[in-house]
Chains A and B, each alone.
Chain A
Amino acid sequence: MSNLKHAFNLTLFLFAVWLLLSGHYTPLMLVLGAASTLLVVFLAIRVAIIDREIQPVLLKPSVLFYWFWLAWEIIKSNLDVTRRILSPGLPISPKIFTVRAGQKTELGRVTYANSITLVPGTVTMDIDEDIFTVHALTQAAAADLERGEMNRRVCSVENVF
């Protein structure tokens, strides 16, 4: 029953995106757009990916605040990695280590793993339940992640998902 609601929301959302990007509003085009929307929703139901994770949660205030914090982290580590790449001595010290993710839900873990990867200097290599194997370009970047601030912040936005 709730899946039907999610499928309905997805249909509305996809058709809105279609209307936004199309720019042609003749009857034939509208029918074709509706048909393609329904085809996509049908395929999504076939591969069973309709669940609560397709809800648009990106614009709730606390999540938005997290995005801004993440953007600032990305800018800082970008400047650091840039400085290291351009230094003649190439001062890098690659390291592989594991961190424990404190998130309860799968979506929370995905957000954490993707945030780690998005910040230059650290890449999530492997995920085993709540243990992430991470490759860091420098010891400093590794120490930064091990302090666990990003983990805490993802945990605190997780419950709005």
Chain B
Amino acid sequence: MGAAVHILSWICLLGGACFLLVGAIGVLRLPDFYTRLHAVSVSDTMGAGLVLAGLMLQGGLSMVTVKLVLIFYFMIFTGPTATHALAEAALQAKLKPVVDDREP
């Protein structure tokens, strides 16, 4: 494996870790449930995607990479469904969102 691939993989892993941290900060910092959905969205798409991409570069062309691609594929398809189910359940339970009515 070339040194360039190695460095690129570490950039992906550390970048992904940063986005996971951002998602975690967002979940603690944002004011209500609906806005926290967006923070989880950050760590689910960008954070998980970059960490898995970094691991794929480490794995090279092998069975390991195929499994990582499958993990990513399942995450991409189940993630929005779970988020939507949560948002719809909260909406149906009449959980009040914080809304900013000012005109932009």
- Determine which of B81, B83, B91 lies in contact with A133 in the assembled complex, contact meaning CB atoms within 8 Å: B91
In the complex the two chains form, is B99's CB within 8 Å of A123's CB? no
Q: How many angstroms between the C-alpha atoms of A45 and B91 in the bound complex?
A: 33
In the complex the two chains form, is A20's CB within 8 Å of B66's CB? yes
Tell me, yes or no, whether A95 is within 8 Å of chain B by CB. yes
The prevalent SS among residues of B at the interface is: helix
**Additional A-B contacts beyond A117-B83, A137-B35, A139-B104 (16; CB < 8 A):** A20-B66, A21-B67, A78-B19, A81-B41, A82-B19, A90-B30, A92-B100, A113-B80, A118-B45, A118-B79, A119-B41, A120-B38, A123-B87, A125-B91, A126-B88, A135-B97
In the complex the two chains form, is B30's CB within 8 Å of A92's CB? yes
In the complex the two chains form, is A96's CB within 8 Å of B97's CB? yes
In the complex the two chains form, is A23's CB within 8 Å of B63's CB? yes
Closest A residue by C-beta to B63: A23
Chain B positions 4-62 with a Cβ under 8 Å from a chain A Cβ: 19, 22, 25-26, 29-32, 34-35, 37-39, 41-42, 45-46
Tell me, yes or no, whether B102 is within 8 Å of chain A by CB. yes
Tell me, yes or no, whether B3 is within 8 Å of chain A by CB. no
Tell me, yes or no, whether A47 is within 8 Å of chain B by CB. no
How many residues from A make CB contacts under 8 Å with B?
A: 33
Q: How many angstroms between the C-alpha atoms of A124 and B38 in the bound complex?
A: 11
B78: shortest Cβ distance to chain A, in Å?
10
Contacts of A74 in B (CB 8 A): 45-46
Contacts of A20 in B (CB 8 A): 66
